[in-house]
Structure 1
Amino acid sequence: MARALRLPNLLWSSLWLLCCSGGAAQAAGPVEEPDLKAAYVFNFIQFVEWPDSAAAPEGEWPVCVSPFSPLKRALAALEGRPVRKGRVLRVRLLEPGDLRQCRVLVLNGPETEPALRALRALPAGHGILTVADEGVADHPDIVIALGRQAQRIVFAVNTDAAGRAGLTVSSRLLRLAKAAP
């Protein structure tokens, strides 16, 4: 089942995260699309449950991203922020041969297919949340696909892919969404 979320539902929390949570409030200018999408990825982590077998390094919540992804810089700006269960976000460069180090895999562009081939080689219930930025929304192994629709950032959730990965997407996240066209 695919779901899409319109920007206004998460806009204020994402803007707060990007603009005001780092100490003194800053003047808020236009938020760049990669920064907003990185905030979405950060928020997705809060609304997904991982299997107990999906162990992450002590104190870290690894997010793997391609060195060429337009989200790399924006995700790196969130490095060290607490995400869940006392762990902090750590950004790692994507190595398709070593996906087990990732709890979240952010895909974009040419690295998508090799990474998805490596992901399919892992056993069911691997515990890796796949987030695709543009272009592969309909791939059966992508759990969350980010995109643009009518000047808005939207995302689709594939609950079947989440189930195969051993992940449970919160009903609160799914309720915010509406069916994708």
Structure 2
Amino acid sequence: MKRSFYHFLFAWYLGFCLPVSHSVAMADSMIEYQVKAAFIYNFIAFTHWPDSTGQTINLCIYGEDYFGQEIDKLQNRSVNNRHIKVMRIADFDQLKVCQVIFFSKSVSGQLSRILNDLQNEPILTLADSQNAAAQGVAINMSLINEKIVFEINLAKVRASGLDISSKLLQLAVKVHQ
């Protein structure tokens, strides 16, 4: 009798407790990427592109998409008289149609090579991978103590022909010159 009771408790634990902890982890991840999507909108809003940039800002996700539908909420939103178009890009050769590229953690091993090929293009590059700003990404986000923080590689931003608002620079935890 005692043994079957413990089997019941163990089965109950597996059936109810583990999915809850998994759901909490998924919810934390969803909230993280919901906040990152809001940050991306603000990064776009506080960036000035050359006059040759059209009326549409192509926001491209390259690599595995951790945003889910959160990033789609930016679709057709307006920033400085330009509309945002969200695109998921799988082919490296299509990246030059983007004005903003978010590089997923899944492509962090290829980041230096990709950025080298996009050098001096008017593209705002974003990531959330360790050392991405040092590799040449314009803005890199990190989750520290349950807060999203970001660093800016100002030299790369300027080499791309873009300009970042001083207000955004003041909010960065680190600005690489």
Map of 2:14 onto structure 1: none
- 1:107 pairs with one of 93, 103, 106: 103
Write the mapping of 1:1-181 to structure 2, written as runs, cut at 5 A: 32-53=31-52, 55-56=53-54, 59-66=55-62, 68-85=64-81, 87-94=82-89, 95-114=91-110, 116-122=112-118, 124=120, 126-179=121-174
Contact 1:99 1:118 in 2 (8 A): no
- Looking at structure 2, the residues matched to 148 and 84 of structure 1 have their Cα atoms a distance apart, in angstroms, of 28
- Looking at structure 2, the residues matched to 99 and 155 of structure 1 have their Cα atoms a distance apart, in angstroms, of 23
TM-score of the superposition, structure 1-length normalised?
0.71
Secondary structure at the residue paired with 1:139? helix
**Which has the greater radius of gyration?**
2
List gaps (5 residues or longer) in structure 2.
1-27
Identity of aligned residues (%): 29
Contact 1:64 1:91 in 2 (8 A): yes
Contact 1:64 1:106 in 2 (8 A): yes
> CA separation of 1:37/1:128 partners in 2, compared to 1, >3 Å: closer, same or farther?
same
> CA separation of 1:72/1:142 partners in 2, compared to 1, >3 Å: closer, same or farther?
farther
**How big is the shift at 1:113?**
4.5
- Looking at structure 2, the residues matched to 148 and 113 of structure 1 have their Cα atoms a distance apart, in angstroms, of 20
- Looking at structure 1, the residues matched to 169 and 56 of structure 2 have their Cα atoms a distance apart, in angstroms, of 26
Secondary structure at the residue paired with 1:135? coil
**How big is the shift at 1:134?**
2.8
Which of structures 1 and 2 has the larger relative contact order (alpha carbons within 8 angstroms, sep 6+)? 1
Structure richer in helix, relative to its length: 2
TM-score of the superposition, structure 2-length normalised?
0.72
Query: Across the two proteins, how many residue pairs are aligned to each other?
Result: 146
Secondary structure at the residue paired with 2:51? coil
Secondary structure at the residue paired with 1:70? coil
Q: Partner amino acid for 1:172?
A: K
Aligned-pair RMSD on alpha carbons?
Answer: 2.3
- Looking at structure 2, the residues matched to 178 and 110 of structure 1 have their Cα atoms a distance apart, in angstroms, of 24
List gaps (5 residues or longer) in structure 1.
1-29
Structure 1 stretches (4+) deviating beyond 6 angstroms?
none
> CA separation of 1:137/1:114 partners in 2, compared to 1, >3 Å: closer, same or farther?
closer
